[in-house]
Amino acid sequence: MGASARLLRAVIMGAPGSGKGTVSSRITKHFALKHLSSGDLLRDNMLRGTGFPRTLPQAEALDRAYQIDTVINLNVPFEVIKQRLTARWIHPASGRVYNIEFNPPKAVGVDDLTGEPLIQRDDDKPETVVKRLKAYEVQTQPVLEYYQKKGVLETFSGTETDKIWPYVYAFLQTKVPQMNQKASVTP
């Protein structure tokens, strides 16, 4: 098995709400890569929303199990993420979900059909979001430094996934053809 048949082993990092899910699904769609990052283990962690690797020991263990080729770090300002994550409001009786940015109620804070007040889930409250973001930063800083030292960290900064994506795409195009000649790289 030649080097050309090796798969690209990539890890995607970013705070909760930074767009990891969107970027992951675009990568699998555009590059016909079935296993993203460390395969099912990571997919499992991503589906449960736990994120991996979160700590330095996890990153080191992942490296021992799989040679990580590249780490894509989505660097989105906390203020932007906070706005994104706190924009969701719910009508408890019906389960209707509103998003202040994309799908706002006709009148602020009230359900369109009943006029009853909307609530915000604890997870979506600004103080909870800020706590989660701070915890993420503290926990993952050593992980990012570890990958930086290894020379595999690529950071993409921006406020919108649609603006960050073309850069991630262009970067991966330089990686994938060398890693796996059979991979389809047409958008």
**3: in domain:** no
Contact 109, 117 (CB under 8 A): yes
Give domain status of residue 187, yes or no: no
**54: in domain:** yes
- Alpha-carbon distance of 146 to 40, in angstroms, equals 23
DSSP for the chain, written as a single string:
--GGGPPP-EEEEE-TTSSHHHHHHHHHHHH--SS-TTTHHHHHHHHTT--S--SHHHHHHHHHHS---EEEEEE--HHHHHHHHT-EEEETTTTEEEETTTB--SBTTB-TTT-PBPB--GGGSHHHHHHHHHHHHHHHHHHHHHHHHHT-EEEEE-S-HHHHHHHHHHHHHHHHHHH-TTS----
* Global pTM value: 0.75
Residue 186 within a domain: no
The parent domain of residue 169 ranges over: 10-174
**Residue 183, domain member (yes or no):** no
Question: Which domain CATH number covers 42?
Answer: 3.40.50.300
Q: Is residue 26 part of a domain?
A: yes
Query: Is 180 contained in some domain?
Result: no
Residue with more model confidence, 50 or 169: 169
- Count of domains for the chain: 1
pLDDT band at 4; cut points 50, 70, 90 = very low
More confident residue, 175 or 96: 96
Specify if 131 maps to a domain: yes
pLDDT by residue (tens digit) across 102-128? Answer: 899 999 999 999 999 999 999 899 999
Of 77, 85, 75, nearest to 49 by C-alpha is 85
